[in-house]
Homo-oligomer: A and B are copies of this chain.
Amino acid sequence: MPDADDTLTNALRRRIIDGEFAPGTRLSEISLAEKLGVSRNTLREAFRVLSEQGLIEHVPHRGVSVASPGVADVVDIYRARRYVEPAALAAGSPLHPAVTAMREAVEQGESGLEARDWRSVGTANMAFHDAIVALADSPRLERLFRDIAAELRLAFLEIDNPEALHAPFVTRNRALLETFLEQGGPAAAAELQDYLVLSERTVLGAFTRLRHD
Protein backbone atom coordinates (compact mmCIF):
# COMPACT_ATOMS: atom_id res chain seq x y z
CA MET A 1 0.00 0.00 0.00
CA PRO A 2 2.51 2.64 -1.12
CA ASP A 3 1.45 6.24 -1.16
CA ALA A 4 -1.24 6.46 -3.77
CA ASP A 5 -0.10 9.73 -5.31
CA ASP A 6 3.24 10.39 -6.91
CA THR A 7 2.06 8.72 -10.06
CA LEU A 8 5.38 8.68 -11.84
CA THR A 9 7.34 7.36 -8.89
CA ASN A 10 4.87 4.59 -8.28
CA ALA A 11 4.63 3.66 -11.92
CA LEU A 12 8.37 3.34 -12.11
CA ARG A 13 8.43 1.49 -8.82
CA ARG A 14 5.92 -1.04 -10.07
CA ARG A 15 7.79 -1.57 -13.30
CA ILE A 16 10.97 -2.26 -11.45
CA ILE A 17 9.34 -4.63 -8.97
CA ASP A 18 7.59 -6.42 -11.79
CA GLY A 19 10.95 -7.12 -13.33
CA GLU A 20 10.61 -4.96 -16.41
CA PHE A 21 14.15 -3.77 -15.74
CA ALA A 22 16.38 -6.57 -14.54
CA PRO A 23 18.38 -5.96 -11.36
CA GLY A 24 21.59 -4.17 -12.16
CA THR A 25 20.21 -2.59 -15.31
CA ARG A 26 21.44 0.92 -15.86
CA LEU A 27 18.65 3.46 -16.19
CA SER A 28 19.58 6.19 -18.61
CA GLU A 29 17.94 9.48 -17.84
CA ILE A 30 17.48 10.52 -21.42
CA SER A 31 16.10 7.34 -22.87
CA LEU A 32 13.94 6.47 -19.88
CA ALA A 33 12.52 9.99 -19.72
CA GLU A 34 11.62 9.72 -23.37
CA LYS A 35 10.13 6.26 -22.85
CA LEU A 36 7.97 7.39 -19.95
CA GLY A 37 7.02 10.64 -21.61
CA VAL A 38 8.37 12.90 -18.88
CA SER A 39 11.20 15.36 -18.67
CA ARG A 40 14.60 14.54 -17.28
CA ASN A 41 14.07 16.74 -14.24
CA THR A 42 10.85 15.06 -13.28
CA LEU A 43 12.40 11.66 -13.76
CA ARG A 44 15.34 12.63 -11.59
CA GLU A 45 12.98 13.52 -8.76
CA ALA A 46 11.45 10.06 -8.97
CA PHE A 47 14.98 8.62 -8.99
CA ARG A 48 15.78 10.33 -5.71
CA VAL A 49 12.71 8.85 -4.06
CA LEU A 50 13.32 5.33 -5.28
CA SER A 51 16.97 5.61 -4.41
CA GLU A 52 16.05 6.55 -0.86
CA GLN A 53 13.80 3.51 -0.75
CA GLY A 54 16.67 1.28 -1.80
CA LEU A 55 15.12 0.18 -5.06
CA ILE A 56 17.74 1.82 -7.23
CA GLU A 57 21.36 2.67 -6.65
CA HIS A 58 22.69 6.08 -7.40
CA VAL A 59 26.37 6.63 -8.05
CA PRO A 60 27.25 10.29 -8.57
CA HIS A 61 28.08 11.13 -12.16
CA ARG A 62 27.46 7.55 -13.15
CA GLY A 63 23.71 7.44 -13.00
CA VAL A 64 21.29 5.04 -11.43
CA SER A 65 20.77 1.36 -11.87
CA VAL A 66 18.24 -1.09 -10.55
CA ALA A 67 19.43 -2.45 -7.24
CA SER A 68 20.75 -5.96 -7.39
CA PRO A 69 20.80 -7.27 -3.85
CA GLY A 70 23.70 -9.51 -2.98
CA VAL A 71 24.17 -12.07 -0.26
CA ALA A 72 24.98 -9.39 2.30
CA ASP A 73 21.76 -7.57 1.47
CA VAL A 74 19.65 -10.68 1.82
CA VAL A 75 21.27 -11.43 5.16
CA ASP A 76 20.59 -7.91 6.35
CA ILE A 77 17.02 -7.94 5.11
CA TYR A 78 16.28 -11.11 7.03
CA ARG A 79 18.00 -9.77 10.09
CA ALA A 80 15.70 -6.76 10.02
CA ARG A 81 12.70 -8.99 9.43
CA ARG A 82 13.58 -11.06 12.47
CA TYR A 83 13.74 -7.90 14.52
CA VAL A 84 10.31 -6.73 13.50
CA GLU A 85 7.97 -9.49 12.42
CA PRO A 86 8.06 -11.88 15.39
CA ALA A 87 7.72 -9.02 17.84
CA ALA A 88 4.76 -7.64 15.95
CA LEU A 89 3.13 -11.04 15.93
CA ALA A 90 3.85 -11.65 19.59
CA ALA A 91 2.14 -8.44 20.65
CA GLY A 92 -0.60 -8.54 18.02
CA SER A 93 -4.25 -8.96 18.85
CA PRO A 94 -6.37 -11.62 17.10
CA LEU A 95 -9.05 -8.97 16.77
CA HIS A 96 -6.84 -6.63 14.80
CA PRO A 97 -8.13 -5.78 11.32
CA ALA A 98 -4.86 -6.97 9.85
CA VAL A 99 -5.83 -10.51 10.77
CA THR A 100 -8.37 -10.37 7.98
CA ALA A 101 -5.62 -9.39 5.59
CA MET A 102 -3.53 -12.30 6.88
CA ARG A 103 -6.37 -14.71 6.22
CA GLU A 104 -6.98 -13.35 2.73
CA ALA A 105 -3.30 -13.60 1.93
CA VAL A 106 -3.25 -17.22 3.02
CA GLU A 107 -6.21 -18.04 0.83
CA GLN A 108 -4.80 -16.19 -2.12
CA GLY A 109 -1.57 -18.10 -1.71
CA GLU A 110 -3.43 -21.39 -1.65
CA SER A 111 -5.39 -20.67 -4.80
CA GLY A 112 -2.20 -19.46 -6.45
CA LEU A 113 -0.54 -22.70 -5.46
CA GLU A 114 -3.34 -24.69 -6.98
CA ALA A 115 -3.07 -22.76 -10.23
CA ARG A 116 0.72 -23.09 -10.14
CA ASP A 117 0.88 -19.30 -10.50
CA TRP A 118 4.11 -18.75 -8.57
CA ARG A 119 4.09 -15.07 -9.23
CA SER A 120 0.77 -14.76 -7.49
CA VAL A 121 2.00 -17.00 -4.68
CA GLY A 122 4.97 -14.73 -4.11
CA THR A 123 2.72 -11.69 -3.97
CA ALA A 124 0.41 -13.41 -1.50
CA ASN A 125 3.34 -14.40 0.70
CA MET A 126 4.50 -10.81 0.82
CA ALA A 127 1.00 -9.62 1.61
CA PHE A 128 0.88 -12.10 4.47
CA HIS A 129 4.01 -10.75 6.07
CA ASP A 130 2.94 -7.21 5.37
CA ALA A 131 -0.20 -7.93 7.36
CA ILE A 132 1.89 -9.30 10.22
CA VAL A 133 3.83 -6.05 10.39
CA ALA A 134 0.55 -4.15 10.21
CA LEU A 135 -0.38 -5.77 13.54
CA ALA A 136 2.07 -3.40 15.16
CA ASP A 137 0.11 -0.33 14.02
CA SER A 138 3.36 1.49 13.35
CA PRO A 139 3.61 3.55 10.17
CA ARG A 140 7.36 3.70 10.49
CA LEU A 141 7.81 -0.02 10.81
CA GLU A 142 5.43 -0.52 7.92
CA ARG A 143 7.52 1.79 5.81
CA LEU A 144 10.64 -0.13 6.70
CA PHE A 145 8.98 -3.37 5.72
CA ARG A 146 7.65 -1.94 2.50
CA ASP A 147 11.14 -0.95 1.42
CA ILE A 148 12.63 -4.23 2.56
CA ALA A 149 9.96 -6.26 0.79
CA ALA A 150 10.62 -4.43 -2.44
CA GLU A 151 14.31 -5.17 -2.22
CA LEU A 152 13.55 -8.78 -1.52
CA ARG A 153 11.44 -8.98 -4.63
CA LEU A 154 14.46 -7.84 -6.62
CA ALA A 155 16.46 -10.64 -5.05
CA PHE A 156 13.74 -13.08 -6.05
CA LEU A 157 13.88 -11.79 -9.60
CA GLU A 158 17.55 -12.61 -9.75
CA ILE A 159 16.98 -16.16 -8.62
CA ASP A 160 14.33 -17.09 -11.13
CA ASN A 161 13.13 -20.31 -9.57
CA PRO A 162 9.84 -19.08 -8.20
CA GLU A 163 8.34 -22.42 -7.29
CA ALA A 164 11.08 -23.48 -4.89
CA LEU A 165 11.11 -19.96 -3.52
CA HIS A 166 7.45 -19.42 -2.76
CA ALA A 167 5.52 -22.70 -2.83
CA PRO A 168 6.83 -24.21 0.42
CA PHE A 169 5.60 -21.30 2.47
CA VAL A 170 1.91 -21.42 1.61
CA THR A 171 1.22 -24.23 4.04
CA ARG A 172 3.50 -22.57 6.58
CA ASN A 173 1.50 -19.39 6.35
CA ARG A 174 -1.70 -21.31 6.99
CA ALA A 175 -0.13 -23.09 9.96
CA LEU A 176 1.27 -19.85 11.37
CA LEU A 177 -2.09 -18.16 11.16
CA GLU A 178 -3.74 -21.04 13.01
CA THR A 179 -1.08 -21.03 15.68
CA PHE A 180 -1.61 -17.34 16.14
CA LEU A 181 -5.37 -17.65 16.47
CA GLU A 182 -5.43 -20.76 18.62
CA GLN A 183 -2.31 -20.50 20.73
CA GLY A 184 -1.72 -16.76 20.76
CA GLY A 185 0.98 -14.34 19.69
CA PRO A 186 4.05 -15.57 21.58
CA ALA A 187 3.70 -19.13 20.30
CA ALA A 188 3.24 -17.84 16.77
CA ALA A 189 6.26 -15.58 17.17
CA ALA A 190 8.44 -18.55 18.03
CA GLU A 191 7.16 -20.40 15.01
CA LEU A 192 7.80 -17.37 12.83
CA GLN A 193 11.41 -17.24 13.99
CA ASP A 194 12.03 -20.71 12.59
CA TYR A 195 10.01 -19.85 9.52
CA LEU A 196 12.22 -16.86 8.78
CA VAL A 197 15.40 -18.83 9.34
CA LEU A 198 14.21 -21.43 6.86
CA SER A 199 13.13 -18.78 4.38
CA GLU A 200 16.47 -17.05 4.57
CA ARG A 201 18.27 -20.33 4.07
CA THR A 202 16.14 -21.06 1.03
CA VAL A 203 16.91 -17.73 -0.58
CA LEU A 204 20.59 -17.82 0.27
CA GLY A 205 20.88 -21.38 -1.01
CA ALA A 206 19.37 -20.49 -4.34
CA PHE A 207 21.56 -17.41 -4.42
CA THR A 208 24.93 -19.06 -3.90
CA ARG A 209 23.87 -21.88 -6.17
CA LEU A 210 23.30 -19.35 -8.92
CA ARG A 211 26.35 -17.17 -8.89
CA HIS A 212 29.37 -17.48 -6.75
CA ASP A 213 30.24 -14.03 -5.48
Residues of A within 8 A of B (CB): 5, 41, 44-45, 48-49, 51-54, 60, 76-77, 79-80, 83-84, 87-88, 136-141, 144, 147-148
Contacts and interface: CB of A to CB of B under 8 A. Distances in A.
Given A5-B60, A53-B52, A144-B144, A83 B45 contact: no
Contact of A140 (B5, B48, B52, B80): B80
Number of copies: 2
B144 A140 contact: yes
Contact of A139 (B41, B76, B83, B136): B76
Contact of A83 (B52, B54, B141): B141
A77 B144 CA distance: 13
- By secondary structure, the A interface counts as helix
A83 B53 contact: no
A53 B5 CA distance: 17
Nearest to A84: B83
Contact of A76 (B45, B84, B138): B138
B148 A140 contact: yes
Contacts of A148: 140
13 contacts: A48-B49, A54-B140, A76-B138, A76-B139, A77-B140, A79-B137, A79-B138, A79-B140, A80-B141, A83-B141, A87-B87, A140-B147, A140-B148
A75 to B, nearest CB: 9
A110 to B, nearest CB: 30
A83 B144 CA distance: 12
A76 B76 CA distance: 23
Nearest to A139: B76
A49 B48 CA distance: 6
A136 B84 contact: no
Contacts of A53: 52
* Chain A to chain B: the 3 pairs with minimum beta-carbon distance, closest first: A52-B52, A48-B48, A80-B140
